[in-house]
A and B are shown apart, each in its own frame.
Chain A
Amino acid sequence: MEMKKPVIKSIPYEEFKDNETLEALVNELNKERTNVVVGALDDLINWGRSNSLWSLTFATSCCGIEFMSVGAARYDFARFGFEVTRNSPRQADLIMVAGTITHKMAPVLKRLYDQMADPKYVIAVGGCAISGGPFKGSYHVLNGVDKIIPVDVYIPGCPPRPEAILYGMMQLQRKVKVEKFFGGVNRKQSREELPEGPMIITNVPQETMNNKEKEQ
């Protein structure tokens, strides 16, 4: 999972490269050794995938503006393969949750996530998406998106600097690079292997259910 040396202002390269967690992950993955052919194919596919991650335009508040800056002239994430943002979840590989998620927005976010095609990734940008940020304790704010969707990378800050957002996005690239496409992520999981059962929503009022049935 080496990477070409990127030139990033204001973060020393040594720190940038420092990735203990990911190293551990790679070691664990390669413990049993990999078949040369499959491994090479894996590398090729991951190289391709990690360098063309398209994100969904999903910005609810302040952090979204910084995300726009990252896409614009000075920071320009297209340099690293995040070419464009997509407005439709069907065409997106990753969702950058940039901003506060409220109670009213939570089901919408979940639905957008469900609409994305696999493999899909989530980056939580900013304090709000990570834990509720400055609004933690409000009656209408979700304290962290990881309560409803799985998160791959967290980028702290309020808002995070563009460099931090870029770093987070590249961290995701690395994560994609160490995936095992064959026999790894692309393998069908058996029922026993599922970490927890699917999310079952139990508090849907009867009225809503009736409406749903009527629609069908």
Chain B
Amino acid sequence: MNITFIQPEKFREQMEYLRRERGMDFLRELVGMDWGEEGIGAVYMLENSETKENVQVATRSTNREAPAIPTVSDIWKIAEMYEREAFDFFGIIFTGHPDLRRLFLRNDWVGYPLRKDYDESEELNPVRMFSENVENDCTHTLAPDGTLQRNPDTLFDNNEYIINIGPQHPATHGVLRFRLSLEGEVIKKTDVHCGYIHRGVEKISERLTYPQILALTDRLDYLSAHQNRHALCMCIENAMDVEVTERTQYIRTIMDELQRIDSHLLFISCAAMDLGALTTFIYGFRDREKILDIFEEVTGGRLIQNYNVIGGVQADITATFAEKVKAFCKYIPKKIKEYNDVFTNNIITRKRMVGVGVLGRDEAISFGCTGGTGRASGWACDVRKRHPYALYDKVDFKEVIYQNGDSFSRYLVRIDEIMESVRIIEQLIDNIPEGDYKVKTKPVIRIPEGSYHATVEGSRGEFGVFIESRGEKSPYRIKFRPMGLPLVACMGTLLNGNKIADLMTIGATLDYVIPDIDR
């Protein structure tokens, strides 16, 4: 992957040029980096949503004390969150950022964990058993002399009625926390807090060997376990020039699609449960178990399968695999009809979903909301079509796109995608070629020096892996693109002006998984 370095002084100008003249409207990723002597900075991956053209640029500052880079948060909306993340991990100060707070860690955290010279000692950061200071009521801006300045009480002022939702709340699908300012029942302002499940995966990975890192990807977004691992395996295989067999590609593609159905079934179940329809929850889980049975038979794991490995898959498919998958493909359309009867066409469901939380197409792109959410807003963002991998350019399937961008479209996209996934599987299942399920790789896996990147379509968006290698057994820096962070970033836009009860609908249909956001 080619990365163009730009001086921080020229950086703003160049980025504006890329956005305006080259139409780079999708900021795929922002990877904070510590290059050691050469400075601290960030790599930006941009894409033109029309032409699918890609550009990677980077900038860095040699001042390790306070590395300053101009912000791009006014050009791409998602950059606001991404920059907060880079500030949190690397202490990069994005000049001009409207609100530079830590995103994941507590605000009394000492040091910047992903820097190479971070001191991990327990004494600096013990487990603090008291609540965080309310310092999070302030924004950070940069004073003219270059120091970071706190502006207390600008986020919410003292007269506002603020309620707290989460981190332990059933409607947040995990441990996410919102602070909402209300006027009556209407939400005025939203502040999202992440990091309650920040496990430091990227930092641990720098100590592990590549095959060891594989195990962690399953646990990021556990409902995209196969796809996540597929992405990492693909990235490493590309870097090492390993060609996997045809059989592996078939197995991987089928497994990815099964996983997608699994995730979408869980989506329907949980969305229904959040809206109070417990029956659908039970139905969804009943059918999901059928997929888990197949997974278990082949991989040995139900939820977390650890199936893909570098160069292939862990074990060959079983003799009854094809038969079971085919039976499932026959079974599920009937059940979808049942969901439609009980839930989708229910008047209450419609009343609560139609027209609620509308995300426009341009906003979806600016926020980088890929996956079902982006497609419900009319953005053709499916990685399987944009940058085909595995067998996706050989199979015939439709990219499901809706134009309304409301909660109901987001819901329908998933229902339709289940059917498309079934179609993909049906095309492949009878033709799995004979051959090895795994090619031999070197016992110790080293990646040649350089930067590598691979993406797949996860269950809820584009999942990307970025590896910077120095030719060692473990990566110099590894970054996973969270599928959920853009979805959470746009929560504010979707919520403000809506009723508080709509938080459940909007949160449920955006379908984020928190460990994937926090990593």
Contacts and interface: CB of A to CB of B under 8 A. Distances in A.
Most buried by B among A87, A103, A107, A201: A103
A166 to B, nearest CB: 14
Contacts of B118: 139
Contact of A108 (B120, B196, B200, B303): B196
Interface string B197-216: 11111011001000000011
A172 interface: no
Given A159-B303, A203-B126, A65 B222 contact: yes
A6 interface: no
Interface in B99-154: 104-106, 108, 113, 118, 120, 125-134
B374 interface: no
Interface in A27-79: 57-62, 64-66, 68-69, 72-74
Contacts of A104: 104-106, 132, 195-196, 198
Given A60-B174, A158-B304, A161-B302, A135 B204 contact: yes
B170 interface: yes
Nearest to B202: A138
Interface in B180-238: 195-201, 203-204, 207, 215-216, 219, 222-223
Contacts of B131: 107, 111, 208
Nearest to B306: A158
Contacts of A129: none
B285 interface: yes
B169 interface: yes
Interface residues of B, number: 53
A106 B170 contact: no
B281 A137 contact: no
A139 B167 contact: no
Contacts of A168: none
B514 interface: yes
B4 interface: no
B286 A106 contact: no
Most buried by B among A61, A105, A134, A140: A140
B504 to A, nearest CB: 12
Contacts of A111: 131
A189 to B, nearest CB: 23
Nearest to A147: B127
A123 B379 CA distance: 44
Contact of A112 (B104, B168, B207): B168
Contacts of B132: 104
Contacts of B199: 100, 102, 135, 138, 140-141
26 contacts: A59-B174, A60-B196, A60-B197, A60-B515, A66-B302, A69-B292, A72-B281, A87-B169, A102-B195, A102-B198, A104-B106, A105-B167, A105-B175, A106-B129, A110-B129, A111-B131, A138-B199, A138-B200, A139-B120, A140-B198, A140-B199, A148-B129, A159-B304, A204-B130, A207-B133, A208-B133
Given A74-B289, A106-B127, A108-B168, 16 more contacts: A60-B175, A61-B222, A69-B289, A73-B282, A74-B286, A102-B196, A104-B105, A105-B197, A108-B167, A135-B216, A138-B199, A138-B204, A140-B198, A148-B127, A161-B302, A211-B133
Interface of B: 104-106, 108, 113, 118, 120, 125-134, 167-170, 174-175, 195-201, 203-204, 207, 215-216, 219, 222-223, 266, 269, 281-283, 285-286, 288-289, 292, 302-304, 514-515
By Cβ-Cβ distance, the 7 closest A-B pairs, closest first, are: A72-B285, A138-B200, A73-B286, A62-B222, A61-B515, A135-B199, A140-B200
